[in-house]
Amino acid sequence: MLKSKTFLKKTRAGGVMKIVREHYLRDDIGCGAPGCAACGRAHEGPVLELQPQDPASSLCPRPHYLLPDTNVLLHQIDVLEDPAIRNVIVLQTVLQEVRNRSAPVYKRIRDVTSNREKHFYTFTNEHHRETYVEQEQGENANDRNDRAIRVAAKWYNEHLKKISAENQLQVIFITNDKKNKEKAVEEGIPAFTCEEYVKSLTANPELVDRLACLSDEANEIESGKIIFSEHLPLSKLQQGIKSGTYLQGTFRASRENYLEATVWIHGDNEENKEILLQGLKHLNRAVHEDIVAVELFPKSQWVAPSSVVLQDEGLNEDDVEKEEEREQMLKTAVSEKMLKPTGRVVGIIKRNWRPYCGMLSKSDIKESRRHLFTPADKRIPRIRIETRQASVLEGRRIIVAIDGWPRNSRYPNGHFVKNLGDVGEKETETEVLLLEHDVPHQPFSQAVLSFLPKMPWSITENDMKNREDLRHLCVCSVDPPGCTDIDDALHCRELENGHLEVGVHIADVSHFIRPGNALDQESARRGTTVYLCEKRIDMVPELLSSNLCSLRSNVDRLAFSCIWEMNHNAEILKTRFTKSVINSKASLTYAEAQMRIDSATMNDDITSSLRGLNKLAKILKKKRIEKGALTLSSPEVRFHMDSETHDPIDLQTKELRETNSMVEEFMLLANISVAKKIHEEFSEHALLRKHPAPPPSNYEILVKAAKSKNLEIKTDTAKSLADSLDRAESPAFPYLNTLLRILATRCMMQAVYFCSGMDNDFHHYGLASPIYTHFTSPIRRYADIIVHRLLAVAIGADCTYPELTDKHKLADICKNLNFRHKMAQYAQRASVAFHTQLFFKSKGIISEEAYILFVRKNAIVVLIPKYGLEGTVFFEEKDKPKPRLIYDDEIPSLKVEDAEFHIFDKVKVKIMLDSSNLQHQKIRMSLVEPQIPGISFSTDNSNMDLNEPERKKMKLKK
């Protein structure tokens, strides 16, 4: 049956166009109930159970299927995902609305419907002759959809009677819309709210905890004191943004101070790029990463960022007066140039809430069901949840979702989602840090694995098309110990004309991962391999990462080669790119390669090749540094693990050898050569990487720190910065130069991927290169796979595809890659922090030398070179008399009683694991030297009970 609508539309040119919309209605769409004679075998894929084995409901004891409306699907997805909820009919009307309103929920519901054990059935009601409804005159789209859902529910109940009268199968309509429920009941449809239905499942009381708390804000206001001003409606916000009254941006909460945040303004407005917010009322219920509208205050009301470190202890959840007292602490007399554009949040444009990991702070009130949840991420406010299982969840890591934030509540309301496991356990904490940093880490799906080559795999004649055979070359790889995903290999040999031929051979991952298939989509989503201290989360399945793509020794492997002809001064005379087959003659570690280069007795082909490469690399590095490339520093640590328990038993800073630098130089050269080539061929569609120059204000702390040691750091160009860092030496203080380079690293901007057609600034500041990309690590970075595809098309070794030359699609890929790389970095740091805690847990209290990196208003941030460890020494502690603190932002310096602290001062600190807060176990540092009465930690002060949380945990387990 065909329904059609005809209407006339005026074109831009002034003509009239007749548009006919056709809508097909069918009789052969199945209801999803197996054994339904009326539908025959019309349904495919997952179907409902003939005899629903659902938990008994006190409201509807008969066997039944559930039919939820759009809002239930959007807000109660955590309930629907629970294994106890099965046999659910998802209407096409509902699915389309969800798709338009929330992509993440839509993806989750698609995953649930494809899980056969859940028995979720998607019913195409919009194309079924008996359930399609047309929009009536005067009826809005929302009311029409509500009616369509009720019509489908009614049809189902009538239709199921045909299966068998005695079976008594029912369809229960689940809606939280009061009017819709009333209409359904009037029409004879069994209908309940989600809360009513879930509470009726007496065998599953834990499901109540997963209910999203959707209390009506209007009712809430009557019950408590209003703390926050009302959020303006979206229409007013959009008008205000258009007229310039308000500014739109991303809300970024502070980790160090819960009463402070910044909003990064969207658009190209150079002025007021970042707006400072101070105080609870001005933050106005915005949560980290929300898109908000802010009102900018006049200059007379601008304030300076606070140097106070403030954590929300949340002792009394509604003590707003105390917050106002703390807000006063943030305000200090500062020079005018320290003032930043300041404002307040007037409305929320888009909430970017996600499920949060953390711990339950159990209420002191006995039998209370209302508790506060403290997220692991300090930028997220505490969340009030209702749960009956508080005693079980105490001492566990759990996941909680936010439901809403009423104006009269100090904290947002939320609901319990999942129990991850005991706090402090390695598996639990690893899961937490992966979830918190949004690292995709589920096993690869069957759909993805189906695109892997069949084993045993070998190179075929077809693979050799457009490929050079370079198996005769003396190629070798140099990597960290234990590396199994070997991306790159090198060779160097002398040519007959006296010149040198140098080759960088990179794993040909794009041969195995073809554009657009499930394997490609999953690699693009992951974006990068994430290296944790004891675990690697691969971007591509292990068969590729550790086997077929890995350039292991003595096996034939497909590669993409970049080959230069050079003279002995490392000047490039010719460059060529080719797809190739190589056979690596050795897989070496940096130490083994260094040993060969330094050995007086070894003169084989591999060693000669390494010596040639090392000699050229030194020349290349010298040239790069002369151009203004920066040599910065960051203390990287390596853990030595116990082979049985896998706990860290030693912690050292990583040692860098000449061979590290040798490999790095040729990788940089290959990346630059490839960047030039793909930009030549695809001036609009090249995927490149840039490193923006930092704004001068970023360098203030570095310049001040150097000045305090009578040194001058120039920051007008990268070259002048590099030169002044080289000159900043102090014979009496050899570590000073490393500290300055560490500080300079903190001043840098983040390097980012971009599409050449969407930007005109290509410069890489840190490498002093006019153009740069990533080509050398396709096993662990998706950007390199795209670059391989571009280069293959450029040299005629592969064919193109539409998305490769669509700059908007490429810009979207870059956006995701930048996000994934940033998150991977944070996850790696979190993993190091957790393993550092494990290391100090077994060590007890240690005393070490440290250097001050930053001076704060009430604390100093120090670096311990021996462990590459950074931490904060606080001078104000709860329940202790406050010392006299004088902070000078100009120098910067902090005077504590009679002792004065400057950046780079040497101090001695005690390091221990503070487990008094199970949620945030942390390395705690206390001052030992200089001695300050009442502040410094004396050596005999060892009465701190470090095992207290262990006992707490034992109690909880009993």
Question: What does the DSSP assignment read for 681-700?
Answer: H-TTT-EEEEBPPPPGGGGH
Cβ atoms of 681 and 592 closer than 8 Å: no
Phi, psi of 763 (to 5 degrees): -65, 140
Contact status, residue 384 vs residue 403, Cβ threshold 8 Å: no
Q: Report residue 851 CA to chain centroid gap.
A: 31
Please, how many CA atoms are within 13 Å of residue 199, restricted to the half-sphere of its CB?
7
**Alpha-carbon Rg of the chain, whole angstroms?**
32
Which contacts qualify for 866-869: CB closer than 8 Å, 24 or more apart? 866/653, 867/637, 867/651, 867/652, 867/653, 867/836, 868/635, 868/636, 868/637, 868/653, 869/635, 869/637, 869/651, 869/836, 869/911, 869/923
d(CA 916, CA 944): 10
Contact criterion met (CB below 8 Å) for 602 and 596:
yes
As a whole number of angstroms, the distance between CA 261 and CA 378 comes to 12
Token pair recorded at residue 662? 């040798």
> Which of 481, 337, 328, 351 has the alpha carbon at shortest distance from 414?
351
Task: Using the Cα atoms of residue 582, residue 584, residue 585 and residue 590 in order, give the sign of their dihedral.
Answer: positive
User: Using CA of residue 762, residue 767, residue 768, residue 774, what is the dihedral sign?
Assistant: negative
Angle between helices 590-598 and 658-681 (to 10 degrees): 110
Kindly list the distances between the CA atom of residue 427 and the CA atoms of 356, 423, 432, 530, in Å, as whole numbers in the listed order.
17, 10, 9, 16
Residue 343 confidence (pLDDT): 92
User: How confident is the model at residue 155, as a pLDDT?
Assistant: 92
Q: Comparing C-alpha atoms, which of 891, 921, 911, 751 is closest to residue 847?
A: 911
CATH code assigned to 234-312+322-418:
2.40.50.690
Q: Determine how β-strand 413-422 pairs with β-strand 556-566.
A: unpaired
pLDDT for residue 477: 95
pLDDT for 658 equals 80
**One fold for 234-312+322-418 and 844-929:** yes
What local confidence, expressed as pLDDT, does residue 40 receive? 63
Token code pair at residue 487:
């991306």
pLDDT of residue 217: 45
Residue 42 · residue 30 · CB < 8 Å: yes
> Distance between CA 746 and CA 632 in Å, rounded?
10
* Paired sense of beta strands 88-91 and 120-123, if any: parallel
What's the pTM value of the predicted model, to 2 decimals?
Answer: 0.78
Reported as half-sphere exposure (CB side, CA atoms, 13 A), residue 812 has a value of 8
Q: What is the pLDDT of residue 951?
A: 42
Q: ∠ CA(152), CA(158), CA(163), 5° rounding?
A: 115
Distance CA 584, CA 477 (A): 7
Annotate 382-399 with DSSP letters as a single string.
PEEEE-S-HHHHTTEEEE
pLDDT at 651: 62
Calpha distance 438→552 (Å, rounded): 32
In 3D space, the residue among 488, 430, 419 whose CA is nearest the CA of residue 778 turns out to be 488
C-alpha distance from residue 139 to each of 8, 23, 147, 176 (Å): 21, 20, 10, 21
Instruction: Enumerate the H helices of 628-781 as residue ranges.
Output: 658-681, 700-708, 718-727, 736-747
The candidate with the shortest Cα–Cα distance to 842, out of 638, 651, 654, is 651
* Residue 544: DSSP 8-state: I
pLDDT value of position 941: 44
Helices and strands: H and E segment counts in the chain: 25, 38
Q: What is residue 83's predicted lDDT score, i.e. its pLDDT?
A: 87
What is the CATH architecture assignment of 844-929?
Beta Barrel (2.40)
Q: What residues contact residue 301 under an 8 Å CB cut-off, 6+ apart?
A: 342
Give the end-to-end CA distance of the chain in Å, rounded to a whole number.
Answer: 67
The CATH number, out of the four listed (3.40.50.2020, 3.40.640.10, 3.40.50.1010, 3.40.50.12160), of the domain defined by the range 26-210: 3.40.50.1010
- Per 3-state DSSP, the chain is made up of helix, strand and coil in percentages (nearest 5) of 35, 25, 40
Q: How many CB atoms neighbour CB 83 within 10 A?
A: 9
Residue among 451, 622, 430 at smallest CA distance from 541: 451
- Classify burial at 481, counting beta carbons within 10 Å of its beta carbon; exposed 0-12, middle 13-18, buried 19 or more: exposed
Spans of the chain, pLDDT less than 70: 1-7, 40-46, 54-55, 164-167, 214-224, 268-272, 307-337, 364, 366-367, 633-656, 878-879, 916-920, 934, 936-958
Nearest to 707 by CA among 734, 743, 672: 743
The domain ranges of the chain are: 26-210, 234-312+322-418, 446-689+755-825, 694-748, 844-929
Q: Residue 950 has what pLDDT?
A: 45
